[in-house]
Chains A and B, each alone.
Chain A
C-alpha cells in the first residue's frame, strides 16, 4: 500500500532501533499520549525492537476510554426517549455505563445508529424529519472541529430536529493533571499527532519549560514512532529540553486556525469535567455556546446527569498516569476483558489495556 508501507519498512526500523539503542544510555520512560500511538505500538510489535532502557507508558489520549460512566448513562437515557435517534461512532457502542452499553440499549429497542461522521448524523436528521436525532459527540480537538462544522451547518440550514450531546475534551489539562500527580514516572512525551494538526505545537511548551520534560509531536506509523523516540533521546543526550515536531508532513506550529475558529464559534470551556480514571479536571472539556442552545441536547432534553464512580477494582487511573502497566492491574484479563470491560482502558481498541490484551503484550 503506497504511502503507508514506506513507514513500516523493517530494514529502516532496524536502523532506527540501532540508533535508539546507541542513544539510550540510561532508562527512559516515554508516555505516548494518544490512543492511536498505543494501538500502533502494540499492533506492529514495536517494543520488540527497542532496548530494555526505553519504556513506553500509555497515556489518556483515547477519547472513548476517558468518557465517564455517568455520561454513557445519559446517552442511553437519551436513546430511550420516544422519538429520539442517537447517532455516534462505532467504538462508543460498547462502552459500559452503569447498566450496560449503547449496544445493549439498542438490543432492548433503543434507536441507536452508528455513523462515521457527525455530518452523517445531520443527514439522518434531514432524512427523518419526524425523529429527534442526537449526535453523541466525543473526542479531543481532533474531532471537535467536525462537530463544530456540523453545528454551523445545522444552524445555517435551520435543521431543528438535530442536536449534539457534547462530550468533547481538551488535551492540555489532563497532561498537566498527570504531571501534577504524585508518583508520576514520566521522563518525556510523545505528543498526539492528530490533535496537534488542530492545536499546533505551542500549547505543549509548558511541559519542557515548567516540568523539564521533552516533547515530540509524532505521526502514527511505526517508523514515525521510532524516529520520535530517537528525537527524544537525542534531546536528552544533547542536554536539550524542548517541543519538537516529527509530524512535519501534517502538523504546523500554529495548528489549523480555521478548525480552531470553528470550535471557538460553537463551543466554550466547561468549569470542570469528569474523566474516567482521572477524576474531575478543571476547564478540561467543551460544551455548546449558549447561542446554540437550540442544538444542545443537554438543554433540550432532561438527562439523569448522575455521577457513577469508577469501579473499585479497576486501576485505569494508575495506568493512565503511567504508574502501572496494563497487565499489572489486578483485574486485567480476568474480571476485565474487551468483551466485558470493567475499566475504560479495556474498551476501545485504542485503550492501553485492550491493545495489550488483543496483541498479547502481557504474554510477551
Chain B
C-alpha cells in the first residue's frame, strides 16, 4: 500500500516561524487582517500610544539552558529589548508559563531565579504572571511568554539619506551558541549567547535627540531582516560594508561550515541603530568597545539592502525566505 498525506496547503510549517517572508505573510495576511487596528497595523516591535509602549513575545528555545543564558533571562531581556528599541524605558513585565507535565521543579526554580536576576539587571519588575500545566507530549518542556510596558523616552528623527547604521557589537553569537549547544552539529566551540538587556544602551542614545532615527534589536532573522524592514518602511536603501560588520571568528567559521549567513542569525543582546551622520561617532562611543558603523542610508534603490563585499563587488541582502533551522529563541 502506498500511503498518502492530506493536502498541506493550509498547514503551518516551520518556515512560518523563521522570521522571514513566510512569517510576515502569516502575520500580515492572517493576524493583522483579523485583528486590524491603528496601533497593531504599524507592526513595530512595540505598540506606542499615550506616552506608553506595550509589547509581547513568546520563548520556545531548545535547549532551555544554553551557554551564556537560559529561557528565563532570554524571556526577560527579549521583552525589555523590544520596549527599549521602541524608545521606551521598560517598567513592568508579565510572564506566562506553559509547563509540560513531568518538568523538573528544580529546573523551573533555576529559570525563575535567572528571570529575577535578569529583571534586576534590566531594572524592571515582573508584576503579573500565569501558569498552565499541559499533559506530557503537549509541550516541549517549557514555553514562556512575557509582555511588557514602558514609558516613552525617545524623540526619534526621520531616517534620511546619509544617516549611518551602527551595530553595538558582534553579530550571530546567540544563534550559533544555541545551534552548537543542541549538539546535533558535532561542533565544539566556546561561543556564548550574547543575551543581555539593551535598555542602558538605548537610554544613552535617547540623549542624541532627533539625531537618533531608528533602533531595533536584530533577533530572529538577524541584521538582514531588521534592515530590510527599515529599508521598506523608510523607502530608502541601506548600503552595508561587509568588512566593517563585526563577526567573531568562531561565528564566521561555523557559518562557513554550515552554509548559514551570520547576517540572518539571531542576536539577543545587540542593538542596531540609525543616527544622523554627524552624530555617528558620538553614538559609536556611547555604544562601547565593539560597536561599529557598518553602513549608511542612500536614496536609491528604495526598499533594498545592499552589501559591498570585501572582494570589491556588491550584492543584495534580501529578506530571509525561511530556513530549516531549529528554533533558537
Q: Which residues of A approach B to under 8 Å, CB–CB?
A: 1-2, 4-5, 8-10, 13-14, 17, 42-49, 76-77, 80-82, 90-91, 93-94, 99-100, 103-110, 114, 116, 120, 222, 302-304, 337-339, 349, 357-361, 363
The reply to whether B3 and A77 contact each other, CB–CB distance below 8 Å, is yes
Question: Complex formed: what's the CA distance from A43 to B318 in Å?
Answer: 12
A358 near B316 (CB under 8 angstroms)?
A: yes
Which of B8-16, B79-87, B195-203 forms part of the interface with chain A?
A: B8-16
| 8 Å CB contact of A108 from B5, B259, B308 | B5
A45 near B314 (CB under 8 angstroms)? yes
CB closest chain-B residue, reference A89: B324
Interface residue B7 (Cβ < 8 Å from any Cβ of A): yes
Instruction: Provide 5 A-B residue pairs closer than 8 Å at the C-beta atoms, listed in order of the A residue.
Output: A1-B252, A4-B252, A82-B3, A109-B5, A116-B184
* Contact yes or no, B313 A49, CB < 8 A: yes
Q: Are A77 and B313 in contact (CB under 8 A)?
A: no
Do residues B13 and A360 form an inter-chain contact, with CB atoms below 8 A? no
- Please report the C-alpha to C-alpha distance between residue A363 and residue B11 in the assembled complex, in whole angstroms: 33
Chain A proximity mask over B194-237: 1 for CB below 8 Å, otherwise 0: 00000000000000000000000000000000000000000000
Q: Which residues on the A side are within 8 Å of B4 (C-beta)?
A: 77, 80
For the complex, give the distance between the alpha carbons of A96 and B301 in Å: 32
B1-42 interface code vs A (CB 8 A; 1 in, 0 out): 111111111011111000001100000000000000000000
Given the known interface contacts A94-B324, A349-B259, A360-B304, the answer about A8 and B13 at a Cβ–Cβ threshold of 8 Å is no
Interface centre among A4, A5, A44, A45 (most CB of B within 10 A): A45
- Identify the 5 closest CB pairs spanning chains A and B, nearest first: A45-B313, A360-B316, A48-B313, A104-B8, A359-B315
Q: Which residues of A contact B252 (CB under 8 A)?
A: 1, 4
- Option from B186, B307, B318, B323 in Cβ contact (under 8 Å) with A357: B318
Complex contact B13–A104 (CB within 8 A): yes
Task: Point out the residue from A4, A106, A349, A363 that lies within 8 Å of B256, measured CB to CB.
Answer: A4
Q: B253 an interface residue at 8 Å Cβ cutoff?
A: yes
Enumerate chain A residues within 8 angstroms of B308, measured Cβ to Cβ. 45
- CB pair B5–A48 under 8 Å, yes or no, is no
Partner-A contacts on B (CB < 8 A): 1-9, 11-15, 21-22, 184-186, 249, 252-253, 256, 259, 301, 304, 306-316, 318, 321-325
A114 B324 Cβ-Cβ under 8 A: yes
A107: which of B11, B249, B325 is its contact (CB, 8 Å)? B11
How many pairs of residues, A versus B, come closer than 8 Å at their CB atoms? 126
Contacts of B3 in A (CB 8 A): 77, 80-82
Contacts of A44 in B (CB 8 A): 309-311, 313, 315
- Complex formed: what's the CA distance from A2 to B252 in Å? 10
A94 to B325, CA, bound (A): 12
Q: Are B314 and A48 in contact (CB under 8 A)?
A: yes
Q: Closest residue of chain A to B4, judged by CB? A: A80
Instruction: Give the Cβ gap from B329 to chain A, nearest Cβ, in Å.
Output: 19
Residues in A neighbouring B15, C-beta threshold 8 A: 94, 103, 339
Bound Cα distance from A13 to B4, whole angstroms: 52
Chain B residues whose C-beta falls within 8 Å of the C-beta of A90 in the assembled complex: 323-325
Asked if B311 and A304 make an inter-chain contact with CB atoms under 8 angstroms apart, the answer reads no
Cβ contacts under 8 Å, B301 to chain A: 363
Supplied contacts A44-B309, A49-B312, 4 more A-B pairs, CB within 8 Å: A80-B4, A103-B324, A107-B11, A337-B321
CB distance from A35 to the nearest CB of B (A): 11
Q: Considering the chains assembled together, what is the distance between the CA atoms of A170 and B61 in angstroms?
A: 40
Q: Which residues of chain B are within 8 angstroms of A110 by Cβ–Cβ distance?
A: 5
Residue of A nearest to B22 (CB): A339
Cβ contact within 8 Å between B2 and A304? yes
**Cα distance A106–B9 in the bound complex, in angstroms:** 12
CB-based contact A302/B8 at 8 Å: no
Chain B minimum-CB-distance residue to A84: B3
Closest to B252 in A: A1
Closest to A303 in B: B2
Are A105 and B316 in contact (CB-based, < 8 A)? no
In contact, B13 and A107 (Cβ under 8 angstroms) = yes
Instruction: Give, as a whole number of angstroms, the nearest-CB distance from A325 to chain B.
Output: 16
B99 CB to closest chain A CB (Å) equals 25
In the complex, the answer to whether B21 meets A1 with C-beta atoms within 8 Å is: no
Q: How far is the CA of A358 from the CA of B305 in the complex (A)?
A: 11
Could you tell me the distance between the alpha carbons of A10 and B6 in the complex, rounded to whole angstroms? 52
Complex contacts, A14 vs chain B, CB 8 Å? 312
Chain B residues lying within 8 Å of A77, measured Cβ to Cβ, are 2-4
Are B311 and A106 in contact, with the CB atoms below 8 A? no
| A residues near B22, Cβ cutoff 8 Å | 339
In the bound complex, do residue A107 and residue B14 qualify as a contact, i.e. CB atoms below 8 Å apart?
A: yes
Report the bound CA distance from A358 to B321 in whole Å.
9
The residue among B13, B314, B325 with the most chain A CB atoms within 10 A of its own CB is B13
- A9: chain B residues within 8 A (beta carbon): 310-311
By a CB distance below 8 angstroms, the chain B residues around A338 are 321
Partner of B11, one of A91, A104, A359: A104
Name the A residues within 8 Å of B321 (CB-CB).
Answer: 337-339, 358
In the complex, which of the residues B313, B318, B322 contacts A46, with contact meaning CB atoms closer than 8 Å?
Answer: B313
| Distance, CA A100 to CA B185, complexed state (A) | 27
Beta-carbon nearest neighbor of B315 in chain A: A359
Contact across chains for A80 and B5 when beta carbons are under 8 A apart: yes
The answer to whether A8 touches B310, judged by C-beta atoms less than 8 angstroms apart, is yes
Please determine whether A100 and B313 come into contact, CB atoms closer than 8 angstroms: no
**Nearest CB to that of A100 among chain B residues?**
B8
- The residues of B that contact A1 with a CB separation of less than 8 Å are 249, 252-253, 256
State the CA gap A43–B9 with chains docked (Å): 32
Q: How far in angstroms is the closest Cβ of chain A from B314?
A: 5
Q: In whole Å, how far is B243's beta carbon from the nearest beta carbon of chain A?
A: 8
Inside 8 A of A76's CB, which chain B residues have their CB?
5
Residue from B184, B259, B312 within 8 A of A48 (CB atoms) = B312
